Amino acid sequence: MQQTDQERLNELQQKAADYARKKQEELNEKVASLRSQIENLIHERGEIERGPLTVQETLSVCIHELEKGKKEIFGDLLTRHIKDVQNQRTDFLSGPAIRLTFFADSNMWKLIFAMIDKTDLEKAAAGLESAGALSEIQRREKIDSLNRKIADLEKQIGKLLL
């Protein structure tokens, strides 16, 4: 049996549609694979960013927070107390003033900053280990490398979708 021109045309259209569908599926699979790689690299980057600090970095963070806390307790709270003394609302470091200014429920935890100094932190940090910790330079290099890989994969996706 011989095909009519219309039947041949329909057959060609079907083959073209099948070919286009197959190519679209291949493209979707490639893009999905690249996106999966990007997600893995983003996860790896997050693990590095949240990884342990070196002993020195840990000490630096703690000293910075200690200084902020001391400034708050000895700056803000003590200044407020001295201002009350100046305005004759209280006596300097009187019992009620100390209780209201420094031992109010909202301020009491801040007194820990008065009890700890930099030497205490250095002694405590001496017992730490840097096992598994990357230095800031190593961390930055790894993150930059991962960012470059992510950008390369994103470019590949862009080229595929053009």
For the stretch 107-160, pLDDT in tens is 667 778 778 889 998 998 888 887 778 888 889 999 999 999 999 999 999 998
| pLDDT at res. 109 | 74
| Mean pLDDT, range 89-95, rounded to an integer | 78
Give me the percent of the chain exceeding a pLDDT of 70.
Answer: 92
Residue spans of alpha helices (H) in 50-130:
55-71, 78-86, 95-101, 112-115, 118-125
Q: What are the residue boundaries of the structural domains of the chain, listed by start? A: 54-131, 134-162
- In terms of C-beta density within 10 A (0-12 exposed, 13-18 middle, 19 or more buried), how is residue 142 classed? middle
For residues 31-52, give the mean pLDDT: 93
- Mean pLDDT of all residues in 7-18: 89
Q: Which amino acid is at 48?
A: I
pLDDT digits (tens, 9 = 90+) for 47-72: 998 888 888 888 999 999 999 888 87
**Structure tokens, 81:** 């107390």
**For residues 59 and 78, which has the higher predicted lDDT (pLDDT)?**
59
- Pull the structure tokens for residue 53: 């600090």
Highest-scoring range by mean pLDDT, 8-17, 79-88, 142-151: 142-151
pLDDT at residue 105 is higher than 70? no
Q: Which residues contact 35 (CB under 8 A, 6 or more apart)?
A: 157
